[in-house]
Amino acid sequence: MRILAVETCFGACSVALCDGDAVLAHRLEAMERGHAEALAPMVQAAMAGYDFASLDGLAVTVGPGTFTGQRVGLSFMRGLRLALHKPLTGITSLEAMAAAAMAETGTGRAAAIHDARRGEAYLSLVEDGAMTMPPRVLAFADAIAAIGAFGPCALAGTGARKAQQALGDGFVSSSILHPDARFVAKLAQMRPPPDAAAPPPAPLYLRAPDAKLPGGRDAMTLFEGDPALLAALHAEAFTHPWDAAALAGLLAGPGVFAFAAEADGRTAGFVLARVAAEEAEILTLAVIPSARGRGLGRALMRRAADHAARLGARTMFLEVGSDNPAALALYNGLGFTRAGLRKGYYAAGSQMGDDALVLKAMLPLAGNMA
C-alpha cells in the first residue's frame, strides 16, 4: 500500500512516501517555524519520479502540537484529498513518536511526553500498538506520575530526558524528539482506509490558543464547534445570512479556519478566513449588534491575519460593501487599501450596498505579529 504522509505538528517538518515496509522517499527538516513554506517543496521532492495517481492513500498528523503547525499539515493534505480523491488517515503526533521510540529501543511499550509549556506536558501511553492513554495535556509532574504508574517503557518527546531522570531504571529515553512522517505512514497502513463519505481528519486541540481581546480578556478561540452556532451569529449580524450547511462546507475546505470571540458571557462574533499558498482571504466577519463598538471586529481581524501569516500567507484580501462606512473605517485602520471593484456583488437590499470594494493588505498587519 503506497502512502504519502506529512508531519508538521512540532519543531520539524517531514514527508515520507512509503510502500509497505519500503521507504521510497523521506525528507525531514528541523524548524520552529516556516512549515507552510517548506512543506510543498518537500512533498514535490519526495514525489519526484512517482505519479500522485499511484498513491493508495494519504496520512497526516492531527495533533496535539502547535496550533499553526497542526493547521499547515492538515490543510495541505485535506486539499490533496479533494484533488486526488484518495483516503486521508489522521494519526496523532504522540503515537507516531511512541512508534518511533519502540522501533529504536526494541520495546513494546512507550510513553510520548512533549513539553507543552506553562509547566504542562502532552502525554500519550502506547502498548502493543494500541493507545492505553490517548493524548492529554497534564501538569508535568502529573504526566511523570502517570508514566510511573504505566511502568517501564521507552520515552519519546522533548520531555523524555526529564522524565527518565525522575523515573530512573527501566525507563529508557530514546532519541525521538519530534514525530516523523515515516511512522505516520506506517501507522496509517495498519488501519483500514477511511470511508469516502466520512469527514476529513480534524485537528486535535487539547487546549485553547493564546489569544486575547483588548484589555487582556481571554475571550477568543480557534473555532472547532457546530457550524449552526456560526449560522445563528451570521443571522443576527446580516440581513442575508449564510446557513449552517454553507458554513460547514466552507469550514471543511482546505486552508479554511475560523476564530470566535465572546462578549457578555456568549459567543458574539466570528471571522472566517482561507489561506491558499501565499494569499489569504477573509470570507466573512460577523459581530452581533449588541457587541459592536467594543473592538471585537478589530481583534478578530488581527487574530485571523496573524494566523494566516503563520500559515505562510503574505497578502490578505476581502470584499466590503461600498456603502458600509463602519466596515471601511475598520479595514482602513488595519492597513487595507483598495485593489478593485465588483459591481452588483451583494444581493439587492443588502445593508452593505450592491457593489463590493476589493481590499488588500500585506501581512503581517502593522503591529500584528508577536
CATH number of the domain within which 276 lies: 3.40.630.30
What is the distance between the alpha carbons of residues 137 and 207, in angstroms, rounded to a whole number? 8
What's residue 369's pLDDT? 36
Residue with cell 522501533: 103
> Has 331 been annotated as catalytic?
yes
Q: Which of 281, 319, 345, 346 is catalytic?
A: 319
What's residue 9's pLDDT? 94
Using the CB atoms, write b or e for 332-359: b if 16+ within 10 Å: eebbbeeeeeeeebbeeebebebebbeb
Domain shared by 70 and 131, yes or no: yes
User: Cα-flanking dihedrals φ and ψ of residue 316, to 5°?
Assistant: -130, 135
Q: Which of 122, 331, 345, 346 is catalytic?
A: 331
CA distances from 2 to 185, 190, 201, 254 (A): 9, 12, 19, 23
Residue with cell 491575519: 305
Q: Is residue 209 reached through a cis peptide bond, with omega within 30 degrees of 0 on the bond before it?
A: no
What is the distance between the alpha carbons of residues 15 and 28, in angstroms, rounded to a whole number? 6
What's residue 211's pLDDT? 46
Provide the β-strand partners of residue 361.
316
What's residue 347's pLDDT? 52
Domain shared by 110 and 226, yes or no: no
pLDDT in tens, the chain (370 residues): 999 999 999 999 999 999 999 999 999 999 988 898 899 999 999 999 999 999 999 999 999 998 778 888 988 998 899 889 999 999 999 999 999 999 999 999 999 999 998 789 999 999 998 999 999 989 999 999 999 999 999 999 999 999 999 999 999 999 999 999 999 999 999 999 888 777 888 888 776 544 455 554 446 788 888 889 999 999 999 988 999 999 998 998 888 999 999 887 788 999 999 998 889 999 999 999 988 888 889 999 999 998 898 888 899 999 988 778 888 888 988 889 998 887 765 555 444 456 788 999 998 886 443 3
Q: With 0-12 CB in 10 A as exposed, 13-18 as middle and 19+ as buried, what is 6?
A: buried
| DSSP 8-state secondary structure symbol assigned to residue 347 | P
What's residue 271's pLDDT? 96
User: Cα-flanking dihedrals φ and ψ of residue 57, to 5°?
Assistant: -170, 175
- Among candidate residues 166, 189, 212, the one where a domain is terminated: 189
What's residue 8's pLDDT? 95
Domain shared by 169 and 237, yes or no: no
Domain shared by 19 and 140, yes or no: yes
* CATH number reported for the structural domain that contains residue 70 in this entry: 3.30.420.40
Phi-psi region of 293 (alpha: psi -120 to 50; beta: other; left: phi over 0): left
Name the domain count of the chain: 2
> Has 319 been annotated as catalytic?
yes
Q: Which domain holds residue 292?
A: 220-362
Residue with cell 451583494: 346
Domain shared by 19 and 77, yes or no: yes
Provide the β-strand partners of residue 4.
17, 58
- Among candidate residues 189, 210, 245, the one where a domain is terminated: 189
- The model carries a pTM of 0.61
Residue with cell 466573512: 284
Cell numbers placing 309: 501569516
Domain shared by 88 and 15, yes or no: yes
What's residue 253's pLDDT? 86
What is the distance between the alpha carbons of residues 280 and 307, in angstroms, rounded to a whole number? 10
